[in-house]
Amino acid sequence: MFIQRAPLRVLALLVISLGARVSAQNLTDDQISLVKARLAQGATHSWELGTRAQALVELDTPTFSVYNASVPPPRTAPSSLNETLAIAQSIVANRSASNHNATGPQPLIQDGAAADPASNIFEVVLANWTGLSDHDYAGAAKDQVDFLFDKVPKTSDGAISHRADQLQLWSDFVYMVPPTLAYYGVITGNQSMVQFAYNQVKLYRNYLIDTHANNLWKHVLMGSFNDTGHWSTGNGWAAAGMLRVAATIQNSPFSSALKNQHKDLLNWAHEIHGGMYRHLDTNTSLFHNYADNPSTFLDASSTAILAASVYRLANMGGPRTHIPQAELSRKALSSTNSSGAFVHFDAQGWLTPVVNPDSYGSEGSKSPEGQAFVLQMHAAWQDWVALGEKGAFTCASL
Ligand SMILES: *[C@@H]1O[C@H](CO)[C@@H](O)[C@H](O)[C@H]1NC(C)=O
Ligand SMILES: *[C@@H]1O[C@H](CO)[C@@H](O)[C@H](O)[C@H]1NC(C)=O
Ligand SMILES: *[C@@H]1O[C@H](CO)[C@@H](O)[C@H](O)[C@H]1NC(C)=O
Ligand SMILES: *[C@@H]1O[C@H](CO)[C@@H](O)[C@H](O)[C@H]1NC(C)=O
Ligand SMILES: *[C@@H]1O[C@H](CO)[C@@H](O)[C@H](O)[C@H]1NC(C)=O
Ligand SMILES: *[C@@H]1O[C@H](CO)[C@@H](O)[C@H](O)[C@H]1NC(C)=O
Ligand SMILES: *[C@@H]1O[C@H](CO)[C@@H](O)[C@H](O)[C@H]1NC(C)=O
Ligand SMILES: *[C@@H]1O[C@H](CO)[C@@H](O)[C@H](O)[C@H]1NC(C)=O
Ligand SMILES: *[C@@H]1O[C@H](CO)[C@@H](O)[C@H](O)[C@H]1NC(C)=O
Ligand SMILES: *[C@@H]1O[C@H](CO)[C@@H](O)[C@H](O)[C@H]1NC(C)=O
């Protein structure tokens, strides 16, 4: 028994190192540029613009990312922030056209969703903070916040609807609204706004958590239809949104006043990981579109945002339990075949396979949000490497 064990172990190591030589483990700078270019080309919907703005900051300007630097950030914008500020500029320049010259509370972009346009509060607030003065950025951000407070339906206990025309809760909300409200709160020196953002996460968790499914979140409740399945991307939006709120608190002047809220947010993100990672497909290291329904297609998009959130949680001092699985997913998404072509990207740089961002039950071919998630995974992984790769699976455990 003991005698046979050693050669087997050597063999296993040989197989692993041979595998590593054939297949890449990390996305190259060229591939990241390609992914970014497709994101720039594809992002048109309100939530895609907000997610793109966030992904670009995390990747290119860590000194302005809530994960990496103090909030508020410096007042002077480095040129790496240009693309992000350009998103704010085009949204605010077009705001009157989009809202038919409305005045007062209004979304940044006219949209059926109440929450999605609010994802852009982040870069609009940044434009104001760094002194861009060709438009009234502060006024546009305030109108969007007032719109959420005054014009959007709410549950009796105060959860803001994801939709504008009816009361309906979507897990996606947790990425679109609480992180940007928390950011707005810190920039305007309003602790109660940051607390409000935390409360929204707490309310959404109460409604959407499925304690009969290891705490996975349901996707859509209330209103004219629902989706009680455990949509993987929705669980990813929720975990990543919680961590942005937590990081905003952690790096703000309110960190000690809100330390219990910060702790809850890390626990709740970890709770989602606990529900999700037991369902990671072992052959591919990808999630199915509905995590606990293996008859649904495999989805690289949710796989990327969840891996990003696992690295972020670890980088913020939270549990590292799921780092080995995030590493498996990241390596799978970075792999190449024997002719050197990326397995999970087409030649143009589009991630595959992905859920259709406009039809959450169907497989699509081009997902701008999926492109952003890859950049976020890469940025979070780079930070994790810089912090010493804590929690990695090592050869010692073979
Ligand atoms: C991937 O990046 C990590 C961290 O920089 C490095 O340790 C590893 O050797 C790289 N792997 C490959 C196959 O280049
Ligand atoms: C933030 O990013 C800078 C530049 O990349 C790096 O030097 C610093 O260590 C990072 N800080 C944290 C807290 O991650
Ligand atoms: C960013 O914008 C500033 C000010 O408009 C400009 O001076 C700078 O050249 C731009 N940088 C890049 C990389 O486009
Ligand atoms: C500006 O808003 C109008 C009206 O909603 C819309 O048709 C157009 O596509 C928008 N343009 C940009 C650049 O966002
Ligand atoms: C908005 O105002 C502009 C300038 O006053 C005007 O040309 C345009 O027709 C107005 N648009 C709408 C939809 O009212
Ligand atoms: C806009 O920036 C100023 C600082 O120049 C800050 O005092 C104010 O709170 C900001 N407003 C918003 C809505 O972000
Ligand atoms: C601070 O945030 C609260 C929401 O929590 C809001 O009601 C209040 O108006 C804000 N205060 C200021 C000065 O904007
Ligand atoms: C979901 O919608 C169906 C059909 O409208 C309804 O019967 C059911 O009660 C709803 N479920 C939940 C959890 O809201
Ligand atoms: C995973 O691999 C096993 C063994 O090769 C195979 O039987 C199974 O069908 C695969 N599952 C999927 C989802 O590809
Ligand atoms: C690798 O992938 C590329 C792109 O899908 C394909 O054209 C090529 O045939 C593949 N090579 C092998 C050896 O499978």
Nearest alpha carbon to residue 210 among 197, 227, 225: 227
Is residue 2 situated within a structural domain? no
Name the residue of 337, 343, 352 whose CB sits within 8 Å of the most ligand 10 atoms, as the mutation to test its pocket.
Answer: 337
Among the bound ligands, name the one nearest to the CA of residue 336: 10
Residue 385 is predicted with a pLDDT of: 98
Chain segment 74-104, per-residue pLDDT in tens:
999 999 999 999 999 999 999 999 999 999 9
Give the nearest ligand 10 atom to 342 CA: 2
Mean of pLDDT values over 314-341: 97
Gap between the Cα atoms of 224 and 166, Å rounded: 8
Is residue 360 situated within a structural domain? yes
Chain segment 253-269, per-residue pLDDT in tens:
999 999 999 999 999 99
Chain segment 98-130, per-residue pLDDT in tens:
999 999 999 999 998 999 999 999 999 999 999
Chain segment 31-59, per-residue pLDDT in tens:
999 999 999 999 999 999 999 999 999 99
Give the nearest ligand 5 atom to 101 CA: 1
| Residue 245 backbone dihedrals phi, psi, to 5 degrees | -65, -45
Is residue 245 situated within a structural domain? yes
Number of domains comprising the chain: 1
Residue 394 is predicted with a pLDDT of: 53
Among the bound ligands, name the one nearest to the CA of residue 389: 1
Pocket flag, ligand 4, residue 261 (CB < 6 Å)? no
| Cα separation of the two ends of the chain | 16
Residue closest via CA to ligand 9's atom 7 equals 283
Residue closest via CA to ligand 2's atom 8 equals 68
Tell whether the model's pLDDT for residue 182 goes beyond 90: yes
Is residue 397 situated within a structural domain? no
The CA–CA distances, whole Å, from 124 to 119, 135, 142, 289, 315 equal 10, 10, 10, 32, 27
Residue 24 is predicted with a pLDDT of: 84
Is residue 205 situated within a structural domain? yes
**Residue % of the chain over a pLDDT of 90:** 92
Distance 80 CA to ligand 3 centre (A): 8
Chain segment 190-208, per-residue pLDDT in tens:
999 999 999 999 999 999 9
Is residue 398 situated within a structural domain? no
Model confidence at 2, pLDDT cuts 50, 70, 90, reads very low
Gap between the Cα atoms of 71 and 163, Å rounded: 29
Average pLDDT, the chain: 94
- What 3-state DSSP class applies to 128? helix
Pocket flag, ligand 8, residue 155 (CB < 6 Å)? no
Tell whether the model's pLDDT for residue 19 goes beyond 60: no
Residue 338 is predicted with a pLDDT of: 93
Gap between the Cα atoms of 347 and 342, Å rounded: 8
CATH code, 37? 1.50.10.10
| Residue 282 backbone dihedrals phi, psi, to 5 degrees | -75, -25
Gap between the Cα atoms of 368 and 350, Å rounded: 9
Is residue 305 situated within a structural domain? yes
Distance 354 CA to ligand 10 centre (A): 19
Distance 286 CA to ligand 8 centre (A): 30
- Please give the model's pTM, rounded to 2 decimal places: 0.93
**Residue % of the chain over a pLDDT of 70:** 93
Which residues form the domain of 129? 8-386
Is residue 85 situated within a structural domain? yes
